[in-house]
Amino acid sequence: DADVTQTPRNRITKTGKRIMLECSQTKGHDRMYWYRQDPGLGLRLIYYSFDVKDINKGEISDGYSVSRQAQAKFSLSLESAIPNQTALYFCATSDPDRGKDNEQFFGPGTRLTVL
Amino acid sequence: RKEVEQDPGPFNVPEGATVAFNCTYSNSASQSFFWYRQDCRKEPKLLMSVYSSGNEDGRFTAQLNRASQYISLLIRDSKLSDSATYLCVSGTASKLTFGTGTRLQVTL
């Protein structure tokens, strides 16, 4: 079984629609992250959370919101999707207290297309 | 200037070759360093951590030079299965910064 899962895996939606991407983990990690990946731009951090109810903006948080209601779940919302939010979205987890280093473990990704 | 810079490649090498990737990072407060591997349309996966003393894992050797803020990855005896994009990563206690990746294609 995968340690970090994301749903949906693929989604096509229209401009203006509200979209929620879900991330769940069974690793017991406290820290969770949302990234987007675009060709030529690499992975960019959207939001991160170090504990339940803890929310921090990353480098590209505009147009996105997140919710961390439980240790195992971190959801990403696009309140009103626009075409330039078309990207591959990854959730990741880490727990520096457990791991040897501050490495992050990624989910399989969600491919989002906004028409 | 990007916080982590890598040559995007692609590096096209024959099977059995030795190939080296380099990257530089700009945040002198970085404390953690990694190489991740990413296959097409898949998630990044940790390849290895990088330490100042250098570390080796089978055919892979990683090196960190803190004074020059430079990280390297050496792959010996390349296999077809090594074909992927390799992401250089530096980080602080709170977050990691990923390079855009170097693409490797190993051919027969």
B71 contact A CB<8A: no
User: Is residue B51's pLDDT more than 70?
Assistant: yes
pLDDT of residue A47: 97
Is there a contact between A100 and B42 if contact means CB atoms under 8 Å apart? no
Is there a contact between A109 and B93 if contact means CB atoms under 8 Å apart? no
pLDDT of residue A30: 92
pLDDT average, residue stretch B56-69: 95
Query: Which residues in chain A come in under a pLDDT of 70?
Result: 1-2, 98-100
pLDDT of residue B43: 97
Write down the H helix ranges in A1-115: none
B27 contact A CB<8A: no
pLDDT average, residue stretch B80-101: 94
User: Is residue B39's pLDDT more than 90?
Assistant: yes
CB atoms near residue A11 (< 10 Å): 17
Chain B residues with CB under 8 Å of A106 CB are 43-45
CB atoms near residue A45 (< 10 Å): 20
User: Which of A100, A102, A107 is the closest to B93 by Cβ?
Assistant: A102
